[in-house]
DNA sequence: AATTAGCAATCTCGTTATTTGAGTGCTAAC
DNA sequence: GTTAGCACTCAAATAACGAGATTGCTAATT
């Protein structure tokens, strides 16, 4: 439903005041600071009406109004001015992405940290793919009984120590060659269907291959990478001074893999906001940005903060960082 | 100074009561629960004496006694019974170290997590060496313009993407061979003194080498590995309900590299306790265990919790985990 | 019909007083 | 050296009170 111009103005006033102060606002204060042309009584009438519509709430009979989650939603969707990041903030982001970042792990770590630092809320970043393509496999002998298995995919390199037993340098080279021949260019999931691979060459090194495949498959970060940053930011907001609320919020981030949309449907960046978070976590809001990258990869970043969040800034930061990621990954 | 048997009993009672309840204890309660044979008045006299000696303190005229840091220290050093871990706890630790853990990073991560989980306090683990010996260097071509540099040392493997420009497969192999010839068996720090290496073979690939060396040196985790776990455990203790204290404690862990003794002087495990932590952080106690591993490595693990900490358990956990580490690293 | 002024009613918050109860420290007796 | 007894101290809980802010309603005004 469409609100009257004046109702919009008032809702905007309540939200923005709450955003900066965290406190409820009174009709008188609205009049003084936002709408000097009408009386506080009129504003009071409008407030009552907005409350009936579900956008505002009352703590008790005689204290000012606060926006509900619905109110915040309305504000973000219809009333919020787009906020440009300051040059300082843009510079901070820029400086975090100037260094060469070729390693995917570094990229998501840096992203999470940057988002959290600039927005000043906790953040979580995900990058994943439905599958990854194997580009290289190398076996490096370390000591008599231990070897390093390196598998390079378009999702980055996994290196993992393996205990293959006593294998000669020649056998190792031979095994490497065979594995490359069989698997390079294939998807990582091909390793899992090992039963289907029948190869006379494979037979000789069967035991070794089994171990290597086990080693790789056990790495659940091979095609999915999560990173959380800035949990401690919650401590800066009075909403979370109550330690039980703080605990709840932190717990939310510990299960962050359920927080982000991990599949992008669109080439364009898609912003989603959960106002008042989940049912168990009504104190948090979650802003997420998701999009497709080259090669069937999904990038997804989220900001988790209080419902009283600077949504405009959160969105700007997510967009800015997402752009940087796009730049980096497109170059490859 | 040696305390009388009865004073010892009373100090023990105060500490143990405080340990479990967190509250001050009164003379009457001590009588009832710990020393039914003497009157509360006698106990009061002893309490006064113990207070004069600096082991106990008074919040105000009429509330029970709490141990001071000195009191805790005395307790731990002379009065504390050694506490065996329960079979469940031992099993938990065991299960965390059964899987093959060949990767050093995994070891310290697992150690930190295990310590934190079993002791129920925050933990920090360090493993480092004055230097690491290079065992292998490999360059793996990923795409036309990017390569993976793998350097294996006795401190684990570092793999890092590098942008060496357009290098042919043959040149890469050749460069690998030369680097191995020059550096395998040498300490990692040899890479830093690159100026001293004059080699005619090196000249051809000078640019590549420079880049590789930069890549490796920039990894400060090559010979020093830190891990913190369980920061959120602080939230479970009433001492840290006050959010400013919580912040202080978390900050302490963020600078955890200053927390642990990073040089072991002795082959035997050495336990150290800072009662009442540092000057800026009088609410925390820090229990550390340090010892030498094979090959000039130092292992150091710490537990950070409230002064009112279960020191017996903390020490047992650190010892148990340290033993596991010893087992693993000795096997190599 | 919309707006406004006026006012009673409501509720929070800070202050002050009062009480209660636990615990100590001292003294004198054992 | 130990203990009983008791005055004294202090924190924490409770109540009472007033000040201040804000609403919601009603009646007057535009």
Report DSSP letters for B134-202, one per residue.
Answer: EEEEEEEEEETTEEEEEEEETTEEEEEEE---S--HHHHHHHHHHHHHHHTTSBGGGGTTGGG---HHH
Task: Tell me the CA distances in angstroms from A91 to A112, A119, A312, A317, B260, one per residue in order.
Answer: 16, 14, 18, 12, 36
How high is the pLDDT of residue A72? 94
Q: Is the domain covering A134-217 a CATH 3.40.50.720 domain? A: no
SS in 3 state form for chain A? Answer: CCCCHHHHHHHHHHHHHHHHHCCCECHHHHHHHCCCCCCHHHHHHHHHHHHHCCCEEECCCCCCEEECHHHHHHHHHHHCCCCCCCHHHHHHHHHHCCCCCCCHHHHHHHHHHHHHHHHCCEEEEEEEECCCEEEEEEEEEEECCEEEEEEEECCEEEEEEECCCCCCHHHHHHHHHHHHHHHCCCECHHHHCHHHCCCHHHHHCHHHHHHHHHHHHCCCCCCEEEEEECHHHHHHCHHHCCHHHHHHHHHHHHCHHHCCCCCCCCCCCEEEEECCCCCCCCCEEEEEEEEECHHHEEEEEEEEEECCCCHHHHHHHHHHHHHHHHHHHHHC
Helices B104-119 & B311-331, crossing angle to 10 degrees?
160
Task: Tell me if B142 and A136 make a contact (CB, 8 A cut-off).
Answer: yes
Backbone dihedral angles phi then psi of residue B235, each to the nearest 5 degrees: -65, -15
B103: pLDDT strictly greater than 80: no
Backbone dihedral angles phi then psi of residue B139, each to the nearest 5 degrees: -115, 125
Q: How many residues does chain B have?
A: 332
B28: pLDDT strictly greater than 60: yes
Domain A5-79 class? Answer: mainly alpha
Task: Tell me if A152 and B157 make a contact (CB, 8 A cut-off).
Answer: no
Mutate to test the interface with B, among A109, A147, A148, A237 (most CBs of B within 10 A): A148
Task: Tell me the CA distances in angstroms from A16 to A287, A308, B192, one per residue in order.
Answer: 18, 10, 55
How high is the pLDDT of residue A305? 95
- Does the C-beta of A34 come within 7 A of strand D? no
Residue in chain A lying closest to B141 (CA): A136
- C1' (D12) to CA (B63) span, angstroms: 12
Cα-based angle B129, A104, A218 (whole degrees, multiple of 5) = 75
**Mean of pLDDT over chain B:** 86
How high is the pLDDT of residue B196? 58
How high is the pLDDT of residue B200? 65
How high is the pLDDT of residue A296? 79
Q: Which residues pair with B289 in a beta bridge?
A: B271, B301
Cα-based angle A183, A189, A193 (whole degrees, multiple of 5) = 85
- Residue A146 C-alpha from the chain's centroid: 37
Average pLDDT for residues B85-95, to the nearest whole number? 95
Architecture of domain B87-129+224-331: 2-Layer Sandwich (3.30)
What are B's interface residues with A at a Cβ cutoff of 8 A? 100, 102-103, 135-136, 138, 140-143, 146, 148, 150, 152, 156-157, 159-163, 231-232, 235, 241, 243, 246-247, 250, 332
Which residue in this structure is represented by tokens 């006698």? B42
How high is the pLDDT of residue A196? 59
Buried b / exposed e over B180-203, threshold 16 CB at 10 Å, is eebbeeebbebbeeeeeeeeeebe
Say which residue, B12 or A257, is predicted with more confidence: B12
Q: Where are the alpha helices (DSSP H) in B53-103?
A: 69-74, 87-96
B202: pLDDT strictly greater than 70: no
- Rg from Cα positions in chain A: 26
B206: pLDDT strictly greater than 90: no
Query: Which residue is nearest to the C1' sugar atom of C6, using CA?
Result: A41
Which residue in this structure is represented by tokens 């840091």? B69
B202 within 8 A of B194, measured Cβ to Cβ: no
Task: Tell me if B152 and A160 make a contact (CB, 8 A cut-off).
Answer: no
B273: pLDDT strictly greater than 80: yes
Nucleotide showing the shortest C1' distance to residue B45 CA = C25
A300 within 8 A of A260, measured Cβ to Cβ: yes
B127 within 8 A of B225, measured Cβ to Cβ: yes
How high is the pLDDT of residue A17? 95
Per-residue pLDDT tens over the stretch B29-54: 999 999 999 999 999 999 999 999 99
How high is the pLDDT of residue B280? 78
B331: pLDDT strictly greater than 80: no
Query: Which residue is nearest to the C1' sugar atom of C11, using CA?
Result: A62
Q: What is the DSSP letter of B86?
A: P
Query: Which residue is nearest to the C1' sugar atom of C23, using CA?
Result: B62
Q: What does the domain layout of chain B look like in residue ranges?
A: 5-79, 87-129+224-331, 134-217
How high is the pLDDT of residue B234? 93
- C1' (C25) to CA (B67) span, angstroms: 19
How high is the pLDDT of residue A54? 94
A190 within 8 A of A180, measured Cβ to Cβ: no
Task: Tell me if A142 and B148 make a contact (CB, 8 A cut-off).
Answer: no
- Does the C-beta of A65 come within 7 A of strand D? yes
B94 within 8 A of B75, measured Cβ to Cβ: no
Q: Which residues of chain A have pLDDT under 50?
A: none
- C1' (D5) to CA (A263) span, angstroms: 78
Q: Which residues pair with A238 in a beta bridge?
A: none
- Rg from Cα positions in chain B: 26
Q: Which CATH superfamily is domain A87-129+225-331 in?
A: GAF domain (3.30.450.40)
For A127: left if phi > 0, alpha if psi spans -120 to 50, otherwise beta; the answer is beta
Average pLDDT for residues B213-242, to the nearest whole number? 84
How high is the pLDDT of residue B99? 62
Q: Token digits for A196? A: 């289907």
How high is the pLDDT of residue A104? 77
B43 within 8 A of B50, measured Cβ to Cβ: no
Mutate to test the interface with A, among B139, B152, B252 (most CBs of A within 10 A): B152
B198: pLDDT strictly greater than 60: no
Contacts of B167 (CB under 8 A, 6+ apart): B141, B147, B175, B208
């Amino acid at each position: 439903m469409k609100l009257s111009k004046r109702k919009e103005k008032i809702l905007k006033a309540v939200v923005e005041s709450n955003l900066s102060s965290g406190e409820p606002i009174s009709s008188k204060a609205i009049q003084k600071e936002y709408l000097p042309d009408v009386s506080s009584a009129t504003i009071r009438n409008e407030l009552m009406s907005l409350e009936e519509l579900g956008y505002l709430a009352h703590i008790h009979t005689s204290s000012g109004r606060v926006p509900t989650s619905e109110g915040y939603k309305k504000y973000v969707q219809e009333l919020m001015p787009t906020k440009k990041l300051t040059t300082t903030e843009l510079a901070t982001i820029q400086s975090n992405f100037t260094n060469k970042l070729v390693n995917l792990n570094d990229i998501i770590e840096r992203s999470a940290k940057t988002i959290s630092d600039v927005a000043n809320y906790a953040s979580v970043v995900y990058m994943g793919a439905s599958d990854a393509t194997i580009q290289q496999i190398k076996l490096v002998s370390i000591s008599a009984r231990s070897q390093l298995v390196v598998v390079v995919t378009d999702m980055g390199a996994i290196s993992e120590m393996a205990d293959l037993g006593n294998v000669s340098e020649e056998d190792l080279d031979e095994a490497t060659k065979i594995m490359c021949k069989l698997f390079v260019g294939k998807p990582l999931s091909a390793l899992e269907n090992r039963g289907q691979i029948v190869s006379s060459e494979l037979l000789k090194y069967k035991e070794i291959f089994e171990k290597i495949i086990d080693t790789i498959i056990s790495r659940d970060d091979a095609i999915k990478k999560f990173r959380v940053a800035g949990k401690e930011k919650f401590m800066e907001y009075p909403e979370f001074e109550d330690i039980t609320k703080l605990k709840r919020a932190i717990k939310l981030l510990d299960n962050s893999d359920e927080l982000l949309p991990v599949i992008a449907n669109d080439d364009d960046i898609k912003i989603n906001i959960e106002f008042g978070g989940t049912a168990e976590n009504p104190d948090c809001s979650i802003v997420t940005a998701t999009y497709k990258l080259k090669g069937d990869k999904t990038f997804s970043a989220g900001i988790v903060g209080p419902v009283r969040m600077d949504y405009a800034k959160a969105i700007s930061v997510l967009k800015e960082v997402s752009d940087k990621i796009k730049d980096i990954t497109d170059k490859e």
